[in-house]
Amino acid sequence: MKVAAIICEYNPLHNGHLYQIDLTKKITGCDSLIAIMSGNFVQRGEPAIIDKWLRTKMALSNGVDLVIELPAIYALSSAEFFAEGAVLILNNLNVVNALCFGSECGEISPLLRIAEILHMEPEDYRAYLKTFLNEGLVYPAARSLALQKYITVNLKDSSAAYKNILMTSNNILGIEYCKSLIANNSSIKPYTITRIGSGYNDENISNGFSSATAIRKHLKNHGHMESIALQLPKNSFDIIMQLKKDNYDFTYPDSMFRYIKYKALTKRDTNIENLFDVSEGLHNRLYKYILESNSLEDLISKIKTKRYTYTRLSRILTQYFIGFEEFDQSTLLNSKCDYIRVLGFNTRGGEILNLIKKNSTMKIISKFPRNITNDILKLDLATTRAYSVINKNVRHNDDYLRSPIIFD
């Protein structure tokens, strides 16, 4: 059996995602498809609008055979750790032949070339990077310029394909996927398809492929459902329509704010500065501005600095809301996850699970064990508990109570 994989969030699953699913099957020639999906919180640093079980149902309804949860330690990390965590899990399954991802670039060769440079970190590249950082540029911009200069000067390639390639989100993730495959000497073959339609952060519903950002904003503002009916596969749209009828608690970032504010004002001994990504006195800025902020967006705009992007701050505050500071993030990020959490599967997905049992040492978890010793799993449990505080449709102990969705 030839198995392909997609790393995703499906927040929610829209037509662009369905396009990727269908094209992945076509270009890889796979017999079955795994999706490794973020759980109840996503990489941009916010709660998923719909819980992980319903998003699993969307995935299985639209061509995915097996859905595995990406542990929260990776799902709420930078592009590098997000990609590394997902790729390592897929690699250690010992059944995955191909990984397909969307990119603005749409070509695999320049992404692989950049990934190779970032993996090897040649001396001249490091020197260029240091120079641009010393000029005061933020790291992403400095890295992009250093790569362009290295490719032009050292590799004698002035191709325009490399210009600003690191300045778009899907390219960045794609490069990190490739870098992780290279670093782990993986046999998984990478493929990329051109991301079509609206930009990742575009907030407007379009006539073509709208972004998940635009769809979430439309739902939050109680827009006419007819406007997004053409932006979603029928199965996804039907699920959302039923949720609206049932008064489902669609979940948005600002729902965390009151809890973050309470924690910052009353639980300073929890030490936000212990979070892996916090430095340069950011915690002091948080404590300073939390009293005069009226929303999460307001708080982030006040504490944002040149070195702290909006998304990075969103991740930090979401980690703080969940309680990441109680865990040794550095150790967890640099240790190997030895299990997979199955969220759902169909008949073919069941066949993949049987292959995994035969070919991999990864533990397969359908429900949480009562006695948890693995800190990565403990953090996943904390994540669901935190999500239950802001989504009344999710119980704090759902990880113990809910079995994988079996899709016929």
Q: What is the pLDDT of residues 137-186, one digit of tens each?
A: 878 788 888 998 998 898 887 666 677 687 788 999 999 999 999 999 99
Residues 179, 243 within the same domain: yes
Residues 227, 313 within the same domain: no
Q: How confident is the model at residue 287 (pLDDT cuts 50, 70, 90)?
A: confident
Asked if 356 contacts 5 with a C-beta cutoff of 8 angstroms, the reply is no
Amino acid at 210: S
Does the pLDDT of residue 197 top 80, yes or no? no
Q: Which helix (H) or strand (E) holds 26?
A: helix 15-28
Residues 240, 163 within the same domain: no
Residues 244, 280 within the same domain: no
339-345 and 363-365 as β-strands: parallel, antiparallel, unpaired? Answer: parallel
Place of tokens 């299985």: 60
In the prediction, which pLDDT does 269 show? 63
Closest CA to 66 of 9, 4, 12: 4
Does the pLDDT of residue 198 top 60, yes or no? no
Average of pLDDT values for 90-106?
96
Lowest mean pLDDT among 135-144, 229-238, 397-406: 135-144
Asked if 71 contacts 341 with a C-beta cutoff of 8 angstroms, the reply is yes
Residues 198, 266 within the same domain: no
Does the pLDDT of residue 195 top 90, yes or no? no
In the prediction, which pLDDT does 375 show? 96
Lowest mean pLDDT among 220-224, 315-319, 328-332: 220-224
Residues 397, 361 within the same domain: yes
Strand partners, 103: 194
Average of pLDDT values for 325-339?
93
Cα Rg, the chain, nearest whole Å: 21
State which residues form the domain around 282: 253-331
More confident position, 264 or 3 = 3
In the prediction, which pLDDT does 203 show? 59
Q: Going by C-beta distance under 8 Å and a sequence separation of 6 or more, which residues neighbour residue 204?
A: 198, 210, 214
In the prediction, which pLDDT does 159 show? 63
Q: Domain of 229: which CATH number?
A: 3.40.50.620
Among 118, 146, 167, give the residue marking a domain's end: 167
Does the pLDDT of residue 204 top 70, yes or no? no
Average of pLDDT values for 42-67?
98
Residues 307, 219 within the same domain: no
Count CA atoms within 13 Å of residue 53 on its CB side. Answer: 15
Amino acid at 88: L
Model pLDDT for residues 63-80, shown as the tens digit of each residue: 999 999 999 999 999 999
Among 331, 350, 380, give the residue marking a domain's end: 331
For the stretch 135-149, what's the b/e string if a residue is b when 16 or more beta carbons lie within 10 angstroms of its beta carbon?
eebeeebbbbbbbbb
Q: Give CA 192 to chain center in angstroms.
A: 17
Residues 222, 355 within the same domain: yes
More confident position, 273 or 57 = 57
Average of pLDDT values for 11-28?
96
Q: How confident is the model at residue 201 (pLDDT cuts 50, 70, 90)?
A: low
Residues 77, 206 within the same domain: yes
Query: Does this model's pTM top 0.85?
Result: yes
Does the pLDDT of residue 280 top 80, yes or no? no
Question: Based on the structure, what is the number of domains in the chain?
Answer: 3
**CA separation, residue 52 to residues 70, 336, 360 (Å):** 11, 23, 25
Residues 276, 325 within the same domain: yes
In the prediction, which pLDDT does 157 show? 78
Helix ranges (DSSP H) in 246-326 = 257-266, 282-289, 296-303, 310-322
Average of pLDDT values for 30-44?
97
Count CA atoms within 13 Å of residue 2 on its CB side. Answer: 11
Q: How confident is the model at residue 207 (pLDDT cuts 50, 70, 90)?
A: low
Does the pLDDT of residue 288 top 90, yes or no? no
Average pLDDT of the residues of the chain? 92
In the prediction, which pLDDT does 160 show? 63
Does the pLDDT of residue 54 top 80, yes or no? yes
In the prediction, which pLDDT does 222 show? 80
Residues 157, 83 within the same domain: no
Does the pLDDT of residue 359 top 90, yes or no? yes
Asked if 184 contacts 119 with a C-beta cutoff of 8 angstroms, the reply is no
Q: Which helix (H) or strand (E) holds 125?
A: helix 123-134
Residues 182, 160 within the same domain: no
